[in-house]
Structure 1
Amino acid sequence: MQLVWPSREHLSSYIAALERGWSPNNLRPEAGREDLAQIHADPEGFLASLVDPEAKGPPVALPDGDTVPRLPGYRRWMWDGEFCGSIQLRWQPGTSALPDYCLGHIGYAVVPWKSGRGYAKAALRALLPEARARGLDHVDITTDPGNIASQQVIRANGGVLVEEFVKLPGLGGTPELRFRIDVRALR
């Protein structure tokens, strides 16, 4: 598995995953349908929107429908000859802190038919040096307390549990675990 930049070359495989019901957003399952609509309307614009290190894109929709300012960030796609998942890095320039509406620096999702192959663990490991290169001291990653697989991915990459909290109502108001990975310690 390797991380690739979203591109025309990989787009048909991404579309196939969306058409099978997969969503790149664990909090907003409808995001997959929204991506399909954007791709059909403007494939090049959609691909460009996935790489936005200057936060020039539109505000981000929360699960409750509210919108919040976009953070700088980008998505990379997991690729093993076909699309197998997505991982995203987001940050605030000049600080490792995030606004309260952003649960973490990194989010990832593997298509169900490729789970259990270590792809999320490898993708996270590959993305951590990029976070350090963006000036971050650490990254925060959150997961549902019942998502043991995600917790294992995070811990395998040096993640340490720092808190259990309740998400803001706009993000679902449910319990969540926050892990931290010190990217300064990476070799």
Structure 2
Amino acid sequence: MSESSHPSMASALAPMQLVWPSPLYLPSYVAALERGWSPNNLRPEAAQEELAAIQADPSGFLDGLIDRDAKGPPVHLPDGGTVPKLPGYRRWMWDDEFCGSIALRWQRGSNALPDYCLGHIGYAVVPWKHRRGYATQALRAMLLEAPSAGLSYVEITTSPDNIASQRVIEANGGVLVERFDKLASLGGTPELRFRIAL
């Protein structure tokens, strides 16, 4: 049996790609949520909220992940408050199964973001797919798409102790521009802001 015909080896060798959320990939996404992964590292409860939304209206959930016109409902903050949704969309990382999510958001006509939004791009890889370079690959691909949103640079933030994320950003040309404390509504903890020219 060749490597490519052996199911487990084929899966291990499958390259990671970014895909648009769709019914084809949704069951694997649900499985990741059910294993405890959350697409929002500030709000772990987002996993259960998304599972409920998928159960109630799978098509509506998928449609809401691609919202270039910011028509969706307000975004929940960790302190329980809400803020207006920004234009943006999510792509899913896929290597024969769901392995992570990356999102791009922006304000029309400006590189600036409201202070409650920590960056133009956010990403999260499921724990069982860490250390495979997926976040670095996904960010590289998303940087190619960002100019279509009218951006000349993107900002990405991460915590000072998240060395893995810092390496992902720096591998894609990120330069540290600021150390700051997040808003109280976002936890008030220290954060690093990187900028990547497009």
Task: Indicate whether the TM-score tops 0.5.
Answer: yes
- Cross-structure match for 1:65: 80
Counterpart CA distance in 2 for 1:159 and 1:130 is 16
Counterpart CA distance in 2 for 1:6 and 1:28 is 21
- Cross-structure match for 2:108: 93
Unaligned residue ranges in structure 2 (runs of 5+) = 1-15
TM-score (structure 1 length as normaliser): 0.97
- Cross-structure match for 1:44: 59
Counterpart CA distance in 1 for 2:179 and 2:48 is 31
Counterpart CA distance in 2 for 1:13 and 1:35 is 14
TM-score (structure 2 length as normaliser): 0.92
- Cross-structure match for 1:4: 19
- Cross-structure match for 1:135: 150
- Cross-structure match for 2:186: 171
Letter in 1 for 2:138: A
CA RMSD of aligned residues (A): 0.4
Matched, 1:15 2:30: yes
SS in structure 2 at match of 1:27? coil
Unaligned residue ranges in structure 1 (runs of 5+) = none
Counterpart CA distance in 1 for 2:187 and 2:88 is 23
Counterpart CA distance in 2 for 1:105 and 1:37 is 27
Task: Report the count of equivalent residues.
Answer: 183
Counterpart CA distance in 1 for 2:29 and 2:57 is 15
Counterpart CA distance in 1 for 2:46 and 2:149 is 27
Shift of 1:132: 1.1
Bigger Cα Rg: 2
- Aligned equivalent of 2:169, options 145, 154, 160: 154
Counterpart CA distance in 2 for 1:110 and 1:56 is 27
**Deviation string, structure 1 residues 89-122 (Cα, Å, up to 9, x no partner):** 0000000000001000000000000000000000
**Deviation string, structure 1 residues 57-100 (Cα, Å, up to 9, x no partner):** 01101000100011000000000000000000000000000000
Counterpart CA distance in 1 for 2:49 and 2:159 is 24
